[in-house]
Amino acid sequence: MNLDPGMTRERLETGCWPDGAAYVDGRYVPISDARISVLDFGFTRSDACYDVVHVHDGAFFRLDDHLRRFRASLEGVRMSIRHDDDALTAILAECVRLSGHRDSYVAMVCTRGVPPARVRGAISGISNTFIAYALPWIDVLSAEIQRRGAHVMIASTPRIPSESVDPTIKNYNRGDMVRAMFEAEDAGADTAILLDLAGHVTEGPGFNVFAVSGSSVRTPASGSLEGVTRLAALELCVELGLDAATADLTPEDLHDADEVFLTSTAGGIIAVTRIDNRILSNDSPGPVTRRVTDLYWKWHRDGRHATPVAY
């Protein structure tokens, strides 16, 4: 079922596609009908960039920051879309409205596109493909894990070097993270943190990492996505009077920390209560993590950085 993007709200009611709504090739469709070609380089070569913003209680959180990062990613991979930020905001909001959820996971994606017939070597000049979609809220780790705190292992699989794939561009080159997740599964952990080739902490599948020692809060300075929730956590720590900054971190820094927490658009601030064989904070979310988490959701309730969706 394809529908013109200029359709009126009288033609499609709010919440008509509760499983999810997408915008593909200039048309809104149910998420089950969203398609790209199997020949698209986004599929065959992971040649794509994307961003994800969440909607909480009917409003985007830090949408401007997500749009800014998406634009930077597009520039970094030499792709372009025809929509300006106002049009992009309208498309994302319409996907949310059509799905009807007040808590939603919302993605914007650009793929390289389909190359000309019988040509596979060139990449410049291919018409890029833009997709957006809204789904019911997704958590990077389950609500149960978030309540008790995540059990995390440091993977032996190293992160893809930044010189090969720029981690500040949100991308689908995640073979290293998939291997690390299998490591975690085999070890009975919830998820994994990856190191770079020099042994420094980078990030995990869908999250940034923070180490807390006293009033000092540190997150890796390089080798990871510059997460929007990571940015929020640094600001939250400053508002709480904590010494928050970026720095090189080692596995020993995590093992010796008073607390460790993760940050993700899909979940917010998530406590780590076990890392490898070390139990943190008496096996429960620590006081600093709880303070940062409480303030993070207070910002949402107060409408900080909010862009409301017109349902």
- Kindly report, residue by residue over 152-176, the tens digit of the pLDDT: 999 999 999 999 999 999 999 999 9
**Residues of the chain predicted below pLDDT 50:** 1-9
Cα dist. 300→61, 100, 149, 308 in Å? 7, 19, 22, 11
The predicted structure's pLDDT at residue 120: 67
The predicted structure's pLDDT at residue 4: 46
CA dihedral (163, 164, 169, 171) in degrees, to 10, reads -160
Cβ atoms of 155 and 180 closer than 8 Å: yes
Co-location of 166 and 294 in the same domain: yes
Give the structural domain span for 79: 21-138
pTM (whole model) above 0.85 = yes
| Sheet with 27-30, side-by-side order of all strands | 27-30, 21-24, 129-136, 104-111, 48-56, 59-61, 306-308
The predicted structure's pLDDT at residue 238: 97
The predicted structure's pLDDT at residue 42: 95
Give me the CATH number covering residue 251: 3.20.10.10
Co-location of 118 and 249 in the same domain: no
- Asked if the structure places residue 235 within a domain, the reply is yes
- Please tell me the distance from the alpha carbon of residue 140 to that of residue 80, in angstroms, as a whole number: 28
Co-location of 234 and 149 in the same domain: yes
Q: How many domains does the chain have?
A: 2
The predicted structure's pLDDT at residue 6: 47
The predicted structure's pLDDT at residue 3: 44
Co-location of 150 and 123 in the same domain: no
- Asked if the structure places residue 244 within a domain, the reply is yes
Co-location of 57 and 195 in the same domain: no
